[in-house]
Amino acid sequence: MTDISNSNALEKLRRMLRIRHFETVAEAIHAKGEIPGALHTYAGQEASGVGTCIVLRNDDYMVGTHRSHGHPIAKGAALRPLMAELLGKATGICKGKGGSMHLSDFSVGSLGETSIVGSGVPVAAGAGLGSKLLGNDRVTLCFFGDGATGEGAFHEGMNLAAVWKLPVIFCCENNGYAVSTPSSAGVPVKHMTDRAKAYDMPSAQVDGQDVDAVEAVMAEAVARARSGGGPTFIETLTYRYADHAVNMGRVLLDRGDEVDEWKKRDPIDLYRARLLDSGVAADVLARIEDEVSAEVADALQFARDSAYPTQAEAFDDVFVDRLPIPAFVQI
């Protein structure tokens, strides 16, 4: 019998399921208006986030993107503050100041999920520089999409990490589209890994639907970074099931049968089948699924029961110290 509590194999499934269930619930209540603002879902890309994060220690760092729900859950964040954030509550991980594009839990090493495409890349290089200067062996994982590789910030961050040999793993989650523009229309190279060649940076392209494959290339990259060998570029070939954002009232891009084709290689289905093949009992998997369902339901209840921030809290955390902000005139 597999020891569930200590099993890395089952933890990968658990984290992928957490992301999937969390977003299924979020999308449903967003449709009813319970979550304000835009909701960019990660569904379909779970193996990319979990396969990379599972290799990291809690004190390793991570920088992510506007498609931010998957990354903190992959790195082990608790669900309650994340769901409360989506609902704009004071108990949210960002106290209701960030919302769906900024689910970032610093207690698990996150340094931000930023909604300006590519802007996390220099930050990740800087975190790597910080670790180097402080003399610790922490590494930084930086997520971004295929679209980000056209941004200047991406190239500047890659350049710094390469020239200073910083302990950073750049993970390009290539889901094929920059909002609605196919990669082929925005990226002149065939593979995102070709971008890394310009920086003389080791790179690997991996099946982003296969959590074990992602974990294997990530393990190599982390070992290199931790031992002073410098940065690595990983391209995870993956797919997002939803449009750029959900519940927009219109479809930005009709991708036809492509979505169903990709769903045949759903990362959770693939991994569940592999676990069953390797002898894990079906009821073990069912129990994990039930537990995750309950966790998400509990997070939603917590979020619903939580209070909204007060108007005064809109003035908190502009600075570390509380500077007087001139009162605005209300007419």
The Cα-based distances of 275 to 8, 18, 73, 289 in angstroms read: 12, 17, 21, 14
Interface with other proteins, residue 93, by CB under 8 A: yes
- Say whether residue 124 binds other proteins (CB under 8 A): yes
Residue selected from 44, 122, 147, 231 as contacting other proteins according to rule CB under 8 A: 122
Tell me: does residue 159 bind other proteins (CB under 8 A). yes
d(CA 27, CA 41): 8
Query: What residues contact 246, with CB distance under 8 A and at least 6 apart?
Result: 27, 30, 31, 39, 40, 41
- Residue from 260, 290, 298, 317 in contact with other proteins (CB under 8 A): 317
Minimum Å gap between C-beta 65 and other proteins is: 13
Are 84 and 303 in contact, with CB atoms under 8 Å apart? Answer: yes
Q: Judge residue 114's burial from the number of C-beta atoms within 10 Å of its C-beta, 0-12 exposed, 13-18 middle, 19 or more buried.
A: buried
The smaller minimum CB distance to other proteins, of residues 45 and 131, is found at: 131
Residue 307 near other proteins by CB under 8 A: no
Q: Is the dihedral of CA 60, 102, 43, 35 positive or negative?
A: positive
What letter represents residue 32's amino acid? K
- Going by their DSSP bridges, the two strands 232-237 and 177-178 should be labelled as unpaired
- Distance between CA atoms of 140 and 221, rounded to whole angstroms? 11
Q: Residues 114, 174, 193, 209: which binds other proteins (CB under 8 A)?
A: 114
Choose which of 44, 51, 147, 157 interacts with other proteins (CB under 8 A): 157
Specify the stretch interacting with other proteins by CB under 8 A; choose among 179-187, 259-267, 285-293, 314-322.
Answer: 314-322
Nearest-approach distance from CB 18 to other proteins, in angstroms: 21
We find the least distance from the C-beta atom of residue 162 to other proteins, in angstroms, to be 10
Report which of 171, 242, 159 is spatially closest to residue 205, judged by C-alpha positions: 171
Residue 153 interacting with other proteins (CB under 8 A)? yes
Stretch that binds other proteins, among 22-30, 109-117, 225-233, 283-291 (CB under 8 A): 109-117
Which of 104, 193, 236, 238 forms a contact with other proteins (CB under 8 A)? 104
**Is residue 320 involved in binding other proteins (CB under 8 A)?**
yes
Asked whether position 82 contacts other proteins by CB under 8 A, the answer is no
Binding segment toward other proteins, per CB under 8 A, in 184-192, 221-229, 250-258, 315-323: 315-323
Distance between CA 298 and CA 296 in Å, rounded? 5
Report H helices in 173-327.
183-186, 193-197, 211-226, 258-263, 267-277, 282-305
141 scored as a contact of other proteins (CB under 8 A): no
Q: Which residues contact 258 (CB under 8 A, 6 or more apart)?
A: none
Q: Does 54 bind other proteins (CB under 8 A)?
A: no
- CB contact at 8 A, 80 and 58: no
Instruction: Name the one range near other proteins by CB under 8 A: 40-48, 113-121, 173-181, 213-221.
Output: 113-121
Residue whose CB is less far from other proteins, 140 or 193: 140
Binding residues for other proteins, per CB under 8 A?
61, 63, 92-98, 102, 104-106, 111-112, 114, 116, 119, 121-131, 133-134, 138, 140, 152-153, 156-157, 159-160, 163, 316-321, 323-326
